[in-house]
Structure 1
Amino acid sequence: MSVFHRLAPLLLLGLAACASYQPVSDTPVRVGRPYTIRGTTYVPAQQPGYDQVGYASWYGHESGNRTARGEKFRPDWISAAHPTLPLPSYVEVTELTNGRTLLVRVNDRGPFARGRIIDLSRGAAKLLGVERQGQAPVRVRLAEPDEKDRKRLRKGKPGAQRPTLTGEALAAQRRRLPSPR
Structure 2
Amino acid sequence: MTEKLEKATFAGGCFWCMVKPFDQWDGVCQVQSGYTGGHTQNPTYEQVKTGTTGHLEAVEITYDPEIISYETILGLYWPQIDPTDDGGQFQDRGDSYRTAIFFHTTEQKQLAEASKKALEKSGRFQKPIVTRILPAAPFYPAEDYHQDFYKKKPNEYEADRLKSGRDEFISAHWTQKHSKQ
Same fold (TM > 0.5): no
TM-score normalised to structure 1 length: 0.29
TM-score normalised to structure 2 length: 0.29
Q: Which has the larger radius of gyration?
A: 1
